[in-house]
Structure 1
Amino acid sequence: MQLQSALKIEAGMSSDAGPNEQNDDCLGVRVPEGTELTTKGVTAVIADGVSAAEHGKQAAEICVQGFLNDYYDAPEAWTVATCGNKVMQSLNRWLYSLGQSNSVDGRGYVTTMSCLVFKGESAHIFHIGDTRIYRLREGDFEQMTRDHSFSYGRKGGTGLARAMGMDTGLDVETRSSPARVGDRYLMTSDGIHDFVTMAELKAAVAEANAEDFDGACDQLCKKALDAGTNDNCSAVLIEVQGIGAASKREHERNFKRLPFPPDLAPGMKMDGYEIEKELQATSRSQTYLARELVEDRLVVIKTPSVNFEDDNGYIERFVMEGWIGKKLKHERLAQAFVPPSGQNFLYTVLEYIEGDSLEDWMKANPKPDVRQVTTIVRQVLQGLRAMHRSEMLHQDLKPSNVILHPERGAVIIDYGSTYVAGIQEIDAPFERELALGTLGYSAPEYFLGRKGNRRSDLFSLGVMLYEMLTGKLPYGEKYERCQSVRDFAALQYTPATKYNSHVPVWLDGAIKKAVAINSQLRYESYSEFEYDLEHPNPKFLPENAGAFVERNPVLFWKLVAGALAVAEIATLVWFLR
């Protein structure tokens, strides 16, 4: 990633066993360097092992060390919210399983936990239990978390309602809010905040010397001890000294670190590659077939157009394509490579996928077998699922961006328009490019300036499925001319059966649902769509066929099974020919 962060954090911490022999608290802060500071941010964690549990101390240590490690090991494409919640869910399951196998009452590994993550211009909180996070901003001292506890008994005893390792289910309190330079955050265990007043906490945070936050935390622990605390005392103090993206000048200097390569021609060598031929040239980029000399393998080299040499938004998106290709690891997705001998120019090295594009295959197979088509669609679905698990949307799915490899099957290529949720959290000092994909295949929400989602990629796939079967587009030429909600509302879906009588009515119904103009009317899950591709959904059958299903369901499904078996044999013959 080329984006740089201006995030700067000053932090200090202290922990004391207090009047107890053992300290069940654990705390930690991680300030990474380089790319991780930009894509993941800074994290701080505090945990207070439940003293009534057999292994509260170990539970607290597992949570703090686990979060500080696993958060940074998680995909950089994930948002902070996704990453934080998944890590905490995983840690909770681990603690619960340990408690079930290594303690008398099954609740031996229980701890409270509060996490702070600073990324971009936001502070993210993940919290469960009765440790606390406070914020001091311009004289206003606020408790940012709630205590997950309850009162019992006449003497006002308290117990934890929620904690890590207490149950298989985990209800984490999460919130995100803008962070500002000068904000100070205090994280404490109940050994401090149950014995030190809000006014005293506020004064300690406000008066703390930024050059000695460790000392300020030591003083808070001492104040709690002087007030008669009967528990461990722990505190983390953080000040935000820089936030958001680096300056525009810093970004420009970083972006222009590598010059644009010259026009390449067959026989030319660059960074361990020899150009064999030009594959395509557009107003935005050039692609070449090249041979990597070290590994002796064919690759595709994509170079940026000199027309955008001063456009930081374009350069960021160009660099992102290679970054995405390196993060995605799936047989249905094209990979990107790191040049073997360093990189002296700005370009992206992509996997060369042998085979025809789906666009060329459609031209050569104007009347394909339905089973062949659904097989290809199911393979593309697998690739989309892998992207969506990484919180990415392809946003430009079309026949020319799918290659049919003779052994691997369908492979998705070209991530030039891909949306990455985790990267969108990173601020940039320039306007990012808005990718709309390709007319005719892009979902209506993109044309209307709305944010896409998984159903948007499904719309594009549904259009491709329709086109493979009919050679047409589901809404005709009018679709590309739509500019408003009213324009889209006036469109009428043309049944695929009108152009191809071999398309089953129930399959046409599945396509119609996948390409619905209103995204809420499309399939909610890809698995439901995939199931309907091969299993006739009674909802899509004509009225008389639906009645037949109800009258004689066994015979109906036997006939369907027979038809599918014949189609399967036809597909096998097609693949082996």
Structure 2
Amino acid sequence: MQVRPNSLSVETGQYSSAGRKAQNQDFHGAMVPDGQALLHKGVALAIADGISSSPVAHVAAETAVKSFLSDYYCTSEAWSVKTAATRVIAATNSWLNSQTRLAGDRDLGHVCTFSALVLKGRKAHLFHVGDSRIWRLDGQSLDQLTEDHTVRISETESYLGRALGMSASMEIDYAALDLRAGDVFLLTTDGVHGFLSPKQLATTVLTSDDLDAAAKALADQALAAGSDDNLTVQIVRVDAVAEPSAAELLSEEGMLPPAPVPHVPGHFEGFHLLRQLHASSRSHIFLAENGATGDRVALKFPSMDLRGDADYLRRFALEEWVARRISSPHVLKAASYPSDREILFLATEFVEGQTLRQWMTDNPAPDLETARDILEQIVRGLGAFHRKDMVHQDLRPENIMIDASGTVKIIDFGSVRIAGVMEAAPALDTPEILGTHQYTAPEVFLGYLGTEFSDQFSLGVIAYEMLTGRLPYGANVARATSERAQSALRYRSAAAITERVPDWVDSALCKAVHPVPGKRYDVLSAFLADLRRPNPTFASDRFVPLAERDPVGFWQLVSAGLALLCFVLFYQLLGNP
């Protein structure tokens, strides 16, 4: 196939036959899209082999392959390959298993092996369950990349330990490999690889320029070697692997030149500019009216100082991409434009209210219930990001708005990490610290990429600051750039700062901002639950040192002790001239 420059280019070959059997219970398929589908989803191949004991196994195999190839391309392009593929496979397994339960016998049900290969960007993603196989040609040899899920009873007897449709929950093997131009992958069912050696498979592929002919030749060789099963072979050769350009990655928006900062009052691209709302070294924001609809919107313009920074402009353009893919009352929405843009600027809904930072200034001692209400709304907004495989990475009071009705909205998407997009362009996925240091998780300072646990840390810091007016580690997190330094971080009890924070709430805050990501909450809902009621796993009588509970009193006591010691020593000196 011919693909435009700067994109993945592959050739495929496929063949399937019933062999000596009356019915072909294997099924296979491949999708090699073009345009944005190729960029965001990549090339996908899948192969399935129905169990021979079931009269409907061919239906299971066909369903598994067709569902994967159709549904995978319908998932959000923000999702990573792993997230998209595993969710599609899990849904297919659930349906197949429901049909198997209706049959009442696994050997008569909708059960099949399944292997899929997705090539995207510079990675090959493998998904596998059963005893079909995925191979990679490495020089003159063939490497098996999957492990058969078979249980051997004897030299002649074995059975499948894992397969689609076998059980309600199914574990599927996943692996990701670096992709190189010239790579060749094979997908085979056991009717082929059970009768041909890896060397025979490799030799046939290496000596053939026509991949369809090579696939048929392998099936014919297996049949001649005595195969009594169905025979299916898929071959894919990678002709080119290239990084997509920024323009391709961001569609047409990435090619637009940055807009100049306008003057107010005035008209700009169909908008009537009313006044400036905000200005910083990174952007300028104006209140405006859409000339076509009359709707009030916020217009965001790139910084004059950074318009020569390509990475900054890519992230600026991605902000709208993010906003248009998240639907939540707690996340800022993208707005429409009166006409097509010819320069780069962003239009979003206008939130009439105040930032959480201003709210915290106006309400320095909020009651616990008010703080919980705000945090719960933030979590609902964060959940919308995380469900799309996005990490906000810059959650802080300045990036949270509260409107006149009390609705909380997360704004500013310039630091969002989008798993699906970063897979398509891994060069953009760097461990650069994009968030504000006081709210950035400790692991990011060690060079790790942001995750949902990093967002949880930022949320925990915000919760702590709302209730105490302080930060749980002060400014020490940004200075702790080694694991040793981070192990020395000490959480300061919120309950010691204010009586408005009960010990059990303090324990929840401590867990959410733990320096080690694995010791934080598995899900944000658990954090909210522990803010609502005491968690019995937290010791209610947890010992808190006096230095943490009352630092001033601690040092007063130390000073008094030292004074007493000095007095005793002085008295002894007087008594022993």
State the shift of 1:114 in Å.
0.9
Who is 1:192 aligned against?
Answer: 192
Who is 1:321 aligned against?
Answer: 319
User: CA 1:475 to 1:120, structure 2 compared with 1: closer, same or farther past 3 Å?
Assistant: same
In 2, the alpha carbon distance for the partners of 1:445 and 1:39 equals 28
Q: Does the aligned pair in 1 maintain the 2:394–2:416 contact within 8 Å?
A: yes
In 1, the alpha carbon distance for the partners of 2:480 and 2:199 equals 60
Confirm or deny that 1:221 pairs with 2:219: yes
Who is 2:177 aligned against?
Answer: 177
Who is 2:572 aligned against?
Answer: none
The more displaced of 41-50 and 356-365 is 356-365
Who is 1:574 aligned against?
Answer: none
Q: Does the aligned pair in 2 maintain the 1:391–1:421 contact within 8 Å?
A: yes
Letter in 1 for 2:115: S
State the shift of 1:499 in Å.
4.4
Secondary structure (helix, strand or coil) at the match of 1:62 reads helix
- What pairs up with 1:520-531 in 2 under 5 angstroms? 520-531=518-529
Secondary structure (helix, strand or coil) at the match of 1:460 reads helix
Who is 2:559 aligned against?
Answer: none
Secondary structure (helix, strand or coil) at the match of 1:73 reads coil
State the shift of 1:307 in Å.
2.6
Q: Does the aligned pair in 2 maintain the 1:255–1:312 contact within 8 Å?
A: no
In 2, the alpha carbon distance for the partners of 1:444 and 1:199 equals 49
Q: Does the aligned pair in 2 maintain the 1:92–1:165 contact within 8 Å?
A: yes
In 2, the alpha carbon distance for the partners of 1:163 and 1:259 equals 52
Q: Does the aligned pair in 2 maintain the 1:456–1:519 contact within 8 Å?
A: yes
State the shift of 1:229 in Å.
3.1
Confirm or deny that 1:32 pairs with 2:33: yes
State the shift of 1:95 in Å.
0.3
Q: Does the aligned pair in 2 maintain the 1:112–1:163 contact within 8 Å?
A: yes
Who is 2:129 aligned against?
Answer: 128
State the shift of 1:391 in Å.
2.3
Q: Does the aligned pair in 2 maintain the 1:505–1:540 contact within 8 Å?
A: no
- What pairs up with 1:262-411 in 2 under 5 angstroms? 262-337=260-335, 339=337, 341-407=339-405, 409-411=407-409
Q: Percent identity?
A: 37
Letter in 2 for 1:117: V
Q: Does the aligned pair in 2 maintain the 1:317–1:433 contact within 8 Å?
A: no
Who is 1:160 aligned against?
Answer: 160
Confirm or deny that 1:451 pairs with 2:434: no
User: CA 1:428 to 1:385, structure 2 compared with 1: closer, same or farther past 3 Å?
Assistant: closer
Who is 1:92 aligned against?
Answer: 93
- What pairs up with 1:59-78 in 2 under 5 angstroms? 59-78=60-79
What is the TM-score of this pair, normalised by structure 2?
Answer: 0.85
- What pairs up with 1:544-555 in 2 under 5 angstroms? none
Q: Deviations over 1:124-177 (max 9, x none)?
A: 1111122222221222222222222234567x1443222111112312222221
Q: Does the aligned pair in 1 maintain the 2:93–2:170 contact within 8 Å?
A: yes
Secondary structure (helix, strand or coil) at the match of 2:305 reads helix
Letter in 2 for 1:136: L
User: CA 1:249 to 1:30, structure 2 compared with 1: closer, same or farther past 3 Å?
Assistant: closer
The more displaced of 57-66 and 522-531 is 522-531
Who is 1:233 aligned against?
Answer: 231
State the shift of 1:472 in Å.
2.6
Q: Does the aligned pair in 2 maintain the 1:313–1:433 contact within 8 Å?
A: no
Letter in 1 for 2:350: Y
User: CA 1:104 to 1:349, structure 2 compared with 1: closer, same or farther past 3 Å?
Assistant: same
State the shift of 1:544 in Å.
11
The more displaced of 80-89 and 24-33 is 80-89
Secondary structure (helix, strand or coil) at the match of 1:185 reads strand
State the shift of 1:46 in Å.
0.9
In 1, the alpha carbon distance for the partners of 2:246 and 2:477 equals 39
- What pairs up with 1:109-120 in 2 under 5 angstroms? 109-120=110-121
In 2, the alpha carbon distance for the partners of 1:517 and 1:399 equals 20
Q: Deviations over 1:346-385 (max 9, x none)?
A: 1222232232221121222222222111111122122222
User: CA 1:375 to 1:130, structure 2 compared with 1: closer, same or farther past 3 Å?
Assistant: same
Confirm or deny that 1:474 pairs with 2:472: yes
Secondary structure (helix, strand or coil) at the match of 1:425 reads helix
Across the two proteins, how many residue pairs are aligned to each other? 539
State the shift of 1:67 in Å.
0.6
In 1, the alpha carbon distance for the partners of 2:509 and 2:41 equals 39
Q: Deviations over 1:28-65 (max 9, x none)?
A: 11112222222221110111122311211111111111
Gaps of 5+ in 1: 546-577
Gaps of 5+ in 2: 545-577
Secondary structure (helix, strand or coil) at the match of 1:342 reads coil
In 1, the alpha carbon distance for the partners of 2:505 and 2:146 equals 51
In 2, the alpha carbon distance for the partners of 1:102 and 1:349 equals 55
Letter in 1 for 2:94: R
In 2, the alpha carbon distance for the partners of 1:227 and 1:431 equals 49
Q: Does the aligned pair in 1 maintain the 2:465–2:471 contact within 8 Å?
A: yes
The counterpart of 1:514, out of the listed 512, 515, 518, is 512
Mark the structure with the bigger radius of gyration.
2
User: CA 1:435 to 1:38, structure 2 compared with 1: closer, same or farther past 3 Å?
Assistant: farther
Q: Does the aligned pair in 2 maintain the 1:248–1:430 contact within 8 Å?
A: no
In 2, the alpha carbon distance for the partners of 1:101 and 1:39 equals 38
Who is 2:571 aligned against?
Answer: none
Who is 1:101 aligned against?
Answer: 102
In 1, the alpha carbon distance for the partners of 2:397 and 2:88 equals 37
Secondary structure (helix, strand or coil) at the match of 1:329 reads coil
State the shift of 1:476 in Å.
3.5
Q: Does the aligned pair in 1 maintain the 2:431–2:444 contact within 8 Å?
A: no
C-alpha root-mean-square deviation of aligned residues, in Å?
3.0
In 2, the alpha carbon distance for the partners of 1:477 and 1:105 equals 60
Q: Does the aligned pair in 2 maintain the 1:53–1:109 contact within 8 Å?
A: yes
Letter in 1 for 2:148: D
Who is 1:503 aligned against?
Answer: 501
